[in-house]
Amino acid sequence: MGMAQYKGKVKDIQDTPFGYTLSVIGGKWKMVIIYLLAENEPVRFNDLKRQIGAITYKILSSQLKELERDGMVERKEYPQIPPKVEYRLTEKAKTLLPILEGLCEWGAKNQHP
């Protein structure tokens, strides 16, 4: 199912598979989080924050909750003091990795014209 079958029929982008995809990975940080988890999983919250840098704890927490809600990230909490929480990609999220790899390849070809 591709974009061609929706040509001229889209009244609301959210009603398309593309709209769904954007709702899951859209925004400033979600693809960065997915990329870092793919490179390093499992990752603890503070390590993820350190790797991203310019993100607040509140935003990182909300982005991870949204990714978890959408079935992209798995959160594992260990019952200890201090609390330890690890994040990893789900199998659903891993199906997105070839697309992210394609974006990286596009960037490599077009970054320095």
DSSP bridge pairs for 84 = 78
The confidence band for 20, taking pLDDT boundaries of 50, 70 and 90, is: confident
Q: Which residues pair with 73 in a beta bridge?
A: 89
Q: How far apart are CA 26 and CA 37, in angstroms?
A: 16
**Predicted pLDDT at 72:** 97
Which pLDDT band, with edges at 50, 70 and 90, does 59 fall under? very high
pTM of the complete model:
0.82
The predicted model gives 18-24 an average pLDDT of: 85
What is the reported pLDDT for 113? Answer: 67
Conformation bin of residue 71: beta by default, left when phi > 0, alpha when psi is -120 to 50: left
pLDDT category at 38 given cuts 50, 70, 90 is: very high
Nearest to 87 by CA among 52, 46, 26, 29: 46
Catalogue all structural domains in the chain, each as residue range(s) with its CATH number.
11-111 (1.10.10.10)
